[in-house]
């Protein structure tokens, strides 16, 4: 398979970018897909959970000097498995996120080209970019380097406007700098099926983004925090909650890879396993799963006065 480079982003903090990047890495591990996780966040949360062996250099050095002597000593294997590698993030990235461009924005793309080349790098199938919660230089450099962008959101107030701004940024980068960049979908995270408010917000997202909203929402489960805290892939966390969210990650990964391979702004109709999962108790929120062709996001329509008000908690 061709190398897919996916930027996982949102403009808001704490919605689950790192959780999604790690959940996808865990699903990829299950499928035998060789993966590199690049931690662009100065907080280094993905790095902490992947617990890699020490490397000579981290992402900060790679972004400053994307040359083979640095690149070859910057990636190390995670504690999860030898097929999941890490390019670590730490607080040194902070100062690279702000200030003038200085022509360094394409350095991540240069580094990724080297890692993706079988003649130079270890040749990954999937490269996941865990972005910080802003549209600063680090996220913009990720969008320059990526073949696809996956948006993460919670089903809460302002989710639509946040996703619209993120899509606008993706679109701008695609037009001006990276014609190969594709929006791969919107992942709804921390979903509670009993919350009317969450149902309402997912419906609102679907109205604006159509089938770009993934048909499976990631449930709010304690297992996510437990697995991350013990540096374990979610697929090895065998509680009911862990198994449930691991299955959801399998579906998101499958859909993301198919939509990425198709090479257009398309999301395919779900395969049999997806259709089955969306027929579970969360079906109302997950939608029919009958995704056809991605529509451009529609403007956020104001609610009519006679429409039911969402339940607020
Ligand atoms: N589906 C979920 N169920 C339960 N807890 C979750 C879920 N997704 C994320 N969390 C928890 O929410 C918190 C924030 O998640 P995460 O760090 O993935 O967000 P983020 O968007 O990467 O944050 P930041 O913007 O700071 O990088 C973490 O404690 C994480 O364990
Ligand atoms: Mg994060």
Q: In whole angstroms, what is the distance from residue 266 CA to residue 16 CA? A: 24
Quick one: which atom of ligand 1 is closest to the CA of 218? 1
As to burial, measured by CB atoms within 10 angstroms (0-12 exposed, 13-18 middle, 19+ buried), residue 284 is: exposed
Q: Residue 295 phi/psi, 5° resolution?
A: -100, 155
As to burial, measured by CB atoms within 10 angstroms (0-12 exposed, 13-18 middle, 19+ buried), residue 183 is: buried
Question: Tens place of pLDDT for every residue, the chain, 313 residues?
Answer: 679 999 999 988 999 999 999 999 999 999 999 999 999 999 999 999 999 999 999 999 999 999 999 999 999 999 999 999 999 999 999 988 887 666 789 999 999 999 988 888 678 999 999 999 988 999 999 999 999 999 999 999 988 888 889 999 999 999 999 999 999 999 999 999 999 999 999 999 999 999 999 999 999 999 999 999 999 999 999 999 999 999 999 999 999 998 777 654 433 334 444 433 433 333 333 433 323 233 445 544 444 434 444 433 3
Task: Output the pLDDT for position 309.
Answer: 42
Residues lining ligand 1, CB < 6 A? 13-19, 41, 43, 45, 133, 189-190, 218, 220-221, 224-225, 228
Task: Output the pLDDT for position 308.
Answer: 42
All domains in the chain, ordered by first residue: 4-286 (3.40.50.300)
Task: Output the pLDDT for position 284.
Answer: 34
Least distant ligand from the CA of 133: 1
Task: Output the pLDDT for position 287.
Answer: 36
DSSP label of 293: B
Q: In whole angstroms, what is the distance from residue 35 CA to residue 24 CA? A: 10
Task: Tell me, in angstroms, the distance from the centre of ligand 1 to residue 14's CA.
Answer: 5
Ligand 1, pocket-test mutation among 94, 224, 227, 241, most atoms within 8 A of CB: 224
Of the candidates 274, 269, 272, the residue with the CA atom closest to the CA atom of residue 259: 269
- Close Cβ partners of 159 (under 8 Å, ≥ 6 residues apart): 153, 188, 201, 204, 205
User: Whose CA is closest to atom 16 on ligand 1?
Assistant: 16
Task: Tell me, in angstroms, the distance from the centre of ligand 2 to residue 270's CA.
Answer: 28
User: Whose CA is closest to atom 13 on ligand 1?
Assistant: 14
Q: In whole angstroms, what is the distance from residue 181 CA to residue 232 CA? A: 31
- Close Cβ partners of 204 (under 8 Å, ≥ 6 residues apart): 159, 160, 300
CB atoms within 10 A of CB 83: 17
Would you call 282 helix, strand, or coil by DSSP? coil
Task: Output the pLDDT for position 22.
Answer: 98
Task: Output the pLDDT for position 119.
Answer: 85
Q: Find tokens 């302002």 and name the residue.
A: 158
Task: Tell me, in angstroms, the distance from the centre of ligand 2 to residue 301's CA.
Answer: 30
Of the candidates 162, 248, 161, 154, the residue with the CA atom closest to the CA atom of residue 197: 154
Q: Which residues surround ligand 2, an ion (CB under 5 A)?
A: 17-18, 41, 45
Q: In whole angstroms, what is the distance from residue 263 CA to residue 127 CA? A: 17
Q: Which long-range contacts does 168-173 make (Cβ < 8 Å, 24+ apart)?
A: 169/135, 169/139, 169/140, 169/143, 170/143, 173/140, 173/143, 173/144
Task: Output the pLDDT for position 48.
Answer: 98
Task: Output the pLDDT for position 54.
Answer: 96
Q: In whole angstroms, what is the distance from residue 37 CA to residue 212 CA? A: 24
């Amino acid at each position: 398979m061709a190398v897919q480079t996916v930027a996982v982003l949102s403009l808001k903090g704490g919605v689950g970018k790192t959780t999604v990047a790690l959940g996808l890495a865990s699903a990829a591990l299950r499928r035998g897909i060789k993966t590199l996780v690049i931690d662009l966040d100065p907080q280094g949360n993905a790095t902490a959970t992947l617990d890699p062996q020490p490397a000579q250099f981290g992402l900060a050095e790679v972004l400053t000097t994307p040359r083979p002597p640095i690149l070859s000593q910057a990636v190390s294997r995670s504690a999860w498995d030898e097929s999941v590698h890490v390019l670590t993030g730490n607080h040194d990235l902070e100062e690279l996120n702000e200030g003038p461009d200085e022509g360094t924005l394409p350095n991540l793309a240069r580094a990724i080209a080297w890692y993706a080349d079988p003649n130079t790098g270890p040749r990954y199938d999937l490269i996941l970019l865990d972005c910080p919660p802003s549209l600063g230089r680090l996220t913009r450099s990720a969008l320059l380097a990526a073949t696809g962008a996956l948006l993460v959101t919670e089903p809460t107030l302002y989710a639509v406007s946040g996703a619209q701004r993120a899509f606008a940024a993706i679109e701008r980068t695609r037009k001006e700098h990276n014609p190969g960049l594709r929006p791969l979908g919107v992942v709804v995270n921390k979903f509670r099926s009993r919350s009317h408010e969450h149902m309402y917000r997912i419906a609102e997202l679907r109205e604006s983004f159509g089938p770009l909203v993934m048909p499976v929402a990631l449930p709010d489960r304690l297992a996510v925090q437990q697995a991350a805290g013990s540096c374990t892939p979610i697929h090895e966390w065998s509680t009911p909650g862990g198994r449930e969210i691991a299955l959801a990650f399998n579906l998101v990964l499958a859909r993301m890879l198919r939509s990425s391979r198709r090479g257009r702004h398309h999301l395919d109709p779900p395969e049999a396993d997806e259709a089955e999962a969306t027929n579970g108790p969360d079906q109302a929120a997950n939608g029919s799963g009958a995704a056809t062709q991605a529509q451009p996001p529609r403007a956020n329509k104001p609610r009519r006065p006679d429409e039911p008000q969402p339940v607020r908690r």
